Structure 1
Amino acid sequence: MKKILAILFLLLVVAGCSKEPTPEERLSEYIALWNKQKFDKMYDYLSKDAKQTITEEEFTTRYQKIYEDLQINDLKIDFKKPKKDKKAEKEASYSFTAKMNSIAGAIQFTHKARLQEEERDKKKNWYVDWDTEYIFPELKEGDTIGLSTVAPKRGEILDRDGDGLAVNGQVYEVGVVAGDLDAAVLESLSSLLKIPKEQINKALGASWVKPGLFVPLRKVSMDEQERIAQLIALEPVQTRKVGARVYPYGEAAASLVGYVGPITADELEKRKDKGYTSQDVIGKRGLEQVLDEQLKGTSGVKIVIKKKGAETGAAGETGGSESETGETAASQKDVVLAEKPVTDGKDVKLTIDADVQAAVYAELSGGSGSSAAGEGGADGTAAGTGQTGGAGETGTAAVMNPVTGETLALVSSPSFDPNQAALGMSADEWKALQEDKQQPLLTRFKQAYAPGSVMKPLTAAIGLANGAIKPEEAVPILGKQWQKDQSWGGYFVTRVHVGTEPVNLERALVYSDNIYFAQAALKMGKGPFADGLKKFGFEEEIPYTYPLEKSVTGALGSDIALADSGYGQGQVQMSIVHLLASYTPFVSGNGGNMMKPVLLVDEEKGQVWKEAVVSPANADLIAADLRKVVGDAAGTAHSAEMAGYPLAGKTGTAEMKQKQGEAGVENGWFIAYNTDSPSLMVAMMVEGVQGRGGSGIPVKLVKNIFEKIK
């Protein structure tokens, strides 16, 4: 009996080992590999007939290329195995569904898989009778897959009144008709377009170029009419109008707005998961870069199966005409697999007043500025702007409504031409900009600088709050220089106005007395002084659309550092936007609150950034003193006094030097606002004012701005 059972068990084992896989099992295995995109392994499951039509390399490469080009992801091939295996003899067929996402959206289809039984190496098994319709049902042998994109319209950057700061306009594309190019013409063309002759010859020698074809070389602004006239006077040169990004206010708003250019490989790598492609144009600087994702929009994408008959014409394929074989011709039409509509970028409307922006830039740069965009023409081409980097003053200026927090102007000088940058500069032009000692590519309004004496009202507010300063107390300060004690060695705090009378807070602000505020900072102590500055927003990111450097208190590691910081020297630094915000507590109606600066029209106006930074009583006290800085004949900003337009403000001169006793570079500051109608506050910093007027330079320029825009 045991022997019989053993024989039966052995027979069962042998029978189990020799059992052929069912077609359902084989298809399940094939689909499992497909879901993992193991195309080389899938090839092993193909029938002999299928393998005669495509090699393993072709099969694998085709799947990989299609899936990569179409950015196929979330692939799910689903085959529901029947409850009962079919009794198949030589052939079997089953339905399966395919779902996937692509660059153009979801793709889904149902198809029938055909399997046939074959004997290989004396073993029978089931193999997939594959053809191209397994990739996509409409994809027949000889068909190709096409991918087309529609670029979105980039959102425009507008000022508060809807005037364009960055718009979609037109420029001239300059090129030549391919053929023999005279050496003299080549020389002139190279000079006028500012591109090397070798670059022109390389463009004309491209593989696609044939005699008589237009070969584009460079885009030129429509404003450059004289240059265009000289170019088209050269016989093979032609121009055509093409769409381009245009900056109507040119240099005046370049640092604020920035410009666009073709995406680089490095930029694409960083943005590959955000829908960017190698064909995109992206923001390179300024708000074009900061708000690029909002401005860019999303490309429209269409995936099409291009039918073999449709490429050569249906009539040619079938041997008849469309009217004779309408059904056949219709069947050859391209098939849309998936389509994602284009989504244009969103416009951005700023609180900036373009006329104020142009006026401030013209004053700081020494140029004529730029008037309304309409000067450039209805198509949005660039209007002329005054000087290009190099003339005028080096520095920054900003204008804000101190009650609402709206930014009306953000200026950096010298500047650059964003139109030229967007159209493409030559290597020599870029090199000249980058090596310019005045740094026209530096966005100065985002930088933090030593504020000098414009920080004294903040020191006053902190000292009043903690009792270190008593406004009527007369501090006996004699002479031009002072030091705490002999431990300071040869270091002294120096003041400009030398008097013999004791100094109270009002006189200290009117005369801008460094010694008074140095002593006040020491009296407060490092901790209370630093904490007071932090209440004004130092050492934190400013919540602002345009990224700004943090304002910092510095180390305050010694009595000398603390004393110097009390009057805006030492290591304390702040940006010009933060400076504007820090003066808003002194403005009538703000109640000592520090208002949040805003740059976008749709942001809430009149937001309080820091509540009760200064008590209302102390705010009124300091505001009255700031009025005397301008109104008092002895005030450091008295030259800004205007009849019927009462300004309050503060001057400052920050000196940068390695050690005491040597001459340093000085930056001059002035910030002012109208006390009766506080809708405008202007701040300016001018670099290198030593030996030529100090803070008197920005005082004069700011006064001119108020006279223009008040």
Structure 2
Amino acid sequence: MNFRKYSVLTVLLFAALLLLAGCGSHQPTAQDRLKEYTAAWQKQDFSKMYNLLSQKSQKAISKTDFVTRYQTVYSGIEAGKMTATVKTPSKNKPGSVPLKATLDTAAGPLQFSQTIQLTQQKSKNQTNWYVDWQPSLILPGMKTGDKVRINTLPAKRGEILDRNGKPLAMNGTAAQIDVVPGQLGSGAGKTKTISQLAKMLGITEQQVQDAMKPAWVKPDSLVPVKTVNASNHSLIKNATKLPGVYKTTVASRVYPDGAASGHLTGYVGPITAEILKAHPGEGYNENSVIGRTGLEQLYEKQLRARDGAVIHLLDASGNEIKTIAQQAPKNGENIQLTIDRTVQDALYGQMKKDSGSAAAIDPKTGDVLGLVSAPSYDPNVFALGISSADYSKLSNDPNRPLMNRFSEATAPGSTFKPITAAIALSHNVIDPSKNVSINGTKWQQDKSWGNYYVTRLDHAPQVNLESALYRSDNIYFAQTALKIGGATLANDSKNYGFGEALPIPYPMQPSTISNDGKLNNAMLLANSGYGQGQVTVNPLHLSLIYSAFVNDGSIIKPRLIKTDAAPTLWKKNVMSPQIAQILNQDLTQVVSNPAGTARNAQISGLPLAGKTGTAEFKKTQGTAGKEDGWFVAYNTNNPKLLVTMMIENTQKKGGSGYVSPKVKAVFQQVFHK
């Protein structure tokens, strides 16, 4: 055997394998290394960035100083997203790698356009490239010892105005109650002052003590305790009489209409960590104010103020070297509503002692003139910073002042009857002039209904459509619904917008004809004919439906934002002009006829048309239970105002008879009658 031959072959084979292995390996380049460094930079992983620095750079700055400096500077300038492009170096300078990068900051984007030097060095028996770091890789132009200063350029939040330019949410001032710890006295005197101040401000003594605990507080420091409404002159006067207590004027969001428009405008408040997390990359920070509810939240993007900022580079002595980034402030947009503050206040003035909702529109234009929920809350309290005790009091109030009722849908009672009538007339299932005989005050279709009866308050032995409307005869409309048929009534209700979102930017609960959209049960169908059963209606939606009676059978499209554009229709021809005219005339009798259910709403010189309703919420027929009173009304001569008002718990107040005088008072106030 020739061992020499095999030895030569083995050597040759081993050499070939080494050659192949060498050809398959990838030698790291400076460009690869800078890409790795940049990837860590984009994640603000400063610790990893430091590990990629050259030995020379690491001798010049410690890891702790490196990481701390980046964190301090980038936090101060609110550094955000970074985009970077690492270019290919020239062949004769492989360690000089061009970099182009953009870093988002509070003062706008910062541009990095530099050639980064990298050095080859061995670490852990491996040779690779490492970054020769310079302070200019924190911020362009920065040198060792330089500092950064950022100045905020404040912007103004957009205001919310009514149709006439009256403010509903505006930028104003508030009174900040401050204390100077060293002037509060000592011992029992200090304790007494703190106790008196806490009582005046509606906070605990501990909250006053806690305000003075931070490390920055000195005996002569002016320490903020609570911000209060600037118009509360008596509180401010009494508080500042105490030793060591002062007032500072501060900028604040102000809601001049207070509780009357509380649910409509909503309020702004300090951004929370949760909300901040939900709005990444949108320029908010932990000091931002954001719309929390109502229009303030819905129109946050338009109303929001975007503060500007300037980033200055300073030398070690604090002298300004240059401005490295600047962004001008951007004020928010003003929003002008169709809301008329006079109408809004008139509605709330009639409702503030009750629980309920109201909507008012111009039935010819669709302009929403008022949206009220009662009881309400004062948004100024929230904007100034509501205490946990006050919030708990509102949350636990059995009248639920934090609940927005005008956005909800509930049983409309007899205010639904004109819709039943319109559908019946459209299908020719009733003759409006024909008298229908009704015996007594209760009726059932047949014995299969057991102990259940449709009842009525009126005793008229014969009624036609007109008298059934102004007397509000439940039996007539229960029978009419059965004549229409469940499938037809359910299907035609869709033409009126039932089951559909209202075309308005404010979220409203859709109205429903039944829980499943069907009316397959005769008893349910009969009850639905007069607005009971499972029918629910949103008050604004009901107002829009009634606009058809003055718009030749078409439903106007609602508008919440003021515009010069011509009004448009939401639902065209839901009934014929002839049917609309019949029902319009019949609804005038509800108010003008001596037997009309809204005869107490008559106004001399201002004829009204409308419909009352009492929605019943009873577990068992014939027993006492909760009732909600409704009244929808509009002026008939050149219609300008249509009001829908619902008051809860009117069972001991006269049902709808409690509501109609309130709506009357609104018309009198608005039309000066």
Which of 533, 542, 565 aligns to 2:502? It is: 542
Q: Is contact 1:649–1:672 with CA below 8 Å preserved after alignment? A: yes
Tell me how far apart the structure 2 counterparts of residues 591 and 34 of structure 1 sit (CA, whole Å). 72
Deviations 1:157-212 (A, max 9, x none): 11111111111111111011122541111110010011100111111121110011
Matched AA of 2:101: A
SS at match of 2:239: helix
Are residue 108 (structure 1) and residue 111 (structure 2) matched? yes
Tell me how far apart the structure 2 counterparts of residues 363 and 428 of structure 1 sit (CA, whole Å). 29
- Which range is displaced more, 51-60 or 419-428? 51-60
2:464 alignment partner in structure 1: 504
Are residue 610 (structure 1) and residue 595 (structure 2) matched? no
Q: Is contact 2:106–2:308 with CA below 8 Å preserved after alignment? A: no
Matched AA of 2:222: F
The structure-2 alpha-carbon separation of the partners of 1:232 and 1:125, relative to structure 1 and needing over 3 Å to count, comes to: closer
Are residue 197 (structure 1) and residue 160 (structure 2) matched? no
2:53 alignment partner in structure 1: 46
Q: Is contact 2:82–2:101 with CA below 8 Å preserved after alignment? A: no
2:159 alignment partner in structure 1: 156
SS at match of 1:666: strand
Question: What is the deviation of 1:358?
Answer: 1.3
Tell me how far apart the structure 1 counterparts of residues 107 and 366 of structure 2 sit (CA, whole Å). 43
Deviations 1:241-289 (A, max 9, x none): 1111111111221121122211122222222343322111122222112
Q: Is contact 2:35–2:86 with CA below 8 Å preserved after alignment? A: no
Which of 441, 447, 451 aligns to 1:480? It is: 441
SS at match of 2:262: helix
Tell me how far apart the structure 2 counterparts of residues 11 and 241 of structure 1 sit (CA, whole Å). 85
Are residue 423 (structure 1) and residue 384 (structure 2) matched? yes
The structure-2 alpha-carbon separation of the partners of 1:564 and 1:111, relative to structure 1 and needing over 3 Å to count, comes to: same
SS at match of 1:31: helix
Matched AA of 2:514: G
1:10 alignment partner in structure 2: 15
Question: What is the deviation of 1:9?
Answer: 9.5
Q: Is contact 2:618–2:625 with CA below 8 Å preserved after alignment? A: yes
SS at match of 2:171: strand
SS at match of 1:440: coil
Which of 597, 601, 607 aligns to 1:646? It is: 607
Deviations 1:293-346 (A, max 9, x none): 211132324444443232xxxxxxxxxxxxxxxxxxxxx524433333221111
Which of 293, 315, 336 aligns to 2:323? It is: 336
1:362 alignment partner in structure 2: 349
Tell me how far apart the structure 1 counterparts of residues 374 and 350 of structure 2 sit (CA, whole Å). 10
Tell me how far apart the structure 2 counterparts of residues 537 and 259 of structure 1 sit (CA, whole Å). 30
1:532 alignment partner in structure 2: 492
Are residue 36 (structure 1) and residue 39 (structure 2) matched? yes
Q: Is contact 2:84–2:99 with CA below 8 Å preserved after alignment? A: no
Are residue 673 (structure 1) and residue 660 (structure 2) matched? no
Unaligned runs of 5+ in 1: 311-331, 366-391
- Which range is displaced more, 550-559 or 59-68? 59-68
The structure-2 alpha-carbon separation of the partners of 1:617 and 1:54, relative to structure 1 and needing over 3 Å to count, comes to: same
Question: What is the deviation of 1:63?
Answer: 5.3
Question: What is the deviation of 1:106?
Answer: 2.7
Question: What is the deviation of 1:72?
Answer: 3.7
Which of 84, 87, 92 aligns to 1:76? It is: 84
Q: Is contact 2:31–2:97 with CA below 8 Å preserved after alignment? A: no
Question: What is the deviation of 1:151?
Answer: 4.0
Tell me how far apart the structure 1 counterparts of residues 239 and 646 of structure 2 sit (CA, whole Å). 42
Matched AA of 1:226: S
Aligned residues: 653
The structure-2 alpha-carbon separation of the partners of 1:130 and 1:420, relative to structure 1 and needing over 3 Å to count, comes to: closer
Tell me how far apart the structure 2 counterparts of residues 253 and 260 of structure 1 sit (CA, whole Å). 14
1:352 alignment partner in structure 2: 339
Tell me how far apart the structure 1 counterparts of residues 652 and 125 of structure 2 sit (CA, whole Å). 101
- Which range is displaced more, 297-306 or 518-527? 297-306
Question: What is the deviation of 1:217?
Answer: 0.6
Matched AA of 2:649: G
Are residue 513 (structure 1) and residue 473 (structure 2) matched? yes
Tell me how far apart the structure 1 counterparts of residues 372 and 101 of structure 2 sit (CA, whole Å). 56
1:565 alignment partner in structure 2: 528
The structure-2 alpha-carbon separation of the partners of 1:111 and 1:678, relative to structure 1 and needing over 3 Å to count, comes to: same
- Which range is displaced more, 519-528 or 435-444? 435-444
Tell me how far apart the structure 1 counterparts of residues 545 and 510 of structure 2 sit (CA, whole Å). 13
Q: Is contact 1:152–1:296 with CA below 8 Å preserved after alignment? A: no
Which of 328, 338, 357 aligns to 1:396? It is: 357
Matched AA of 2:395: Q
Matches within 5 A, 1:203-602: 203-310=211-318, 333-365=320-352, 392-501=353-462, 503-555=463-515, 556-587=519-550, 590-602=551-563
The structure-2 alpha-carbon separation of the partners of 1:119 and 1:458, relative to structure 1 and needing over 3 Å to count, comes to: closer
Tell me how far apart the structure 2 counterparts of residues 518 and 261 of structure 1 sit (CA, whole Å). 50
Which of 165, 168, 190 aligns to 1:165? It is: 168
The structure-2 alpha-carbon separation of the partners of 1:707 and 1:110, relative to structure 1 and needing over 3 Å to count, comes to: closer
1:131 alignment partner in structure 2: 134
Tell me how far apart the structure 2 counterparts of residues 512 and 262 of structure 1 sit (CA, whole Å). 51
The structure-2 alpha-carbon separation of the partners of 1:27 and 1:449, relative to structure 1 and needing over 3 Å to count, comes to: same
Are residue 664 (structure 1) and residue 664 (structure 2) matched? no
SS at match of 2:488: helix
Q: Is contact 1:77–1:99 with CA below 8 Å preserved after alignment? A: no
Tell me how far apart the structure 2 counterparts of residues 633 and 508 of structure 1 sit (CA, whole Å). 14
Q: Is contact 1:175–1:217 with CA below 8 Å preserved after alignment? A: yes
- Identity among equivalent pairs (%): 40
The structure-2 alpha-carbon separation of the partners of 1:97 and 1:635, relative to structure 1 and needing over 3 Å to count, comes to: closer
Tell me how far apart the structure 1 counterparts of residues 127 and 478 of structure 2 sit (CA, whole Å). 97
Matched AA of 2:376: S
The structure-2 alpha-carbon separation of the partners of 1:470 and 1:47, relative to structure 1 and needing over 3 Å to count, comes to: same
Tell me how far apart the structure 2 counterparts of residues 122 and 399 of structure 1 sit (CA, whole Å). 81
Q: Is contact 1:290–1:546 with CA below 8 Å preserved after alignment? A: yes
Question: What is the deviation of 1:94?
Answer: 4.9
Matched AA of 1:537: G
Are residue 697 (structure 1) and residue 643 (structure 2) matched? no
Tell me how far apart the structure 2 counterparts of residues 395 and 96 of structure 1 sit (CA, whole Å). 64
SS at match of 2:174: strand
Matched AA of 1:670: F
SS at match of 1:114: strand
Matched AA of 1:278: E
Question: What is the deviation of 1:128?
Answer: 3.4
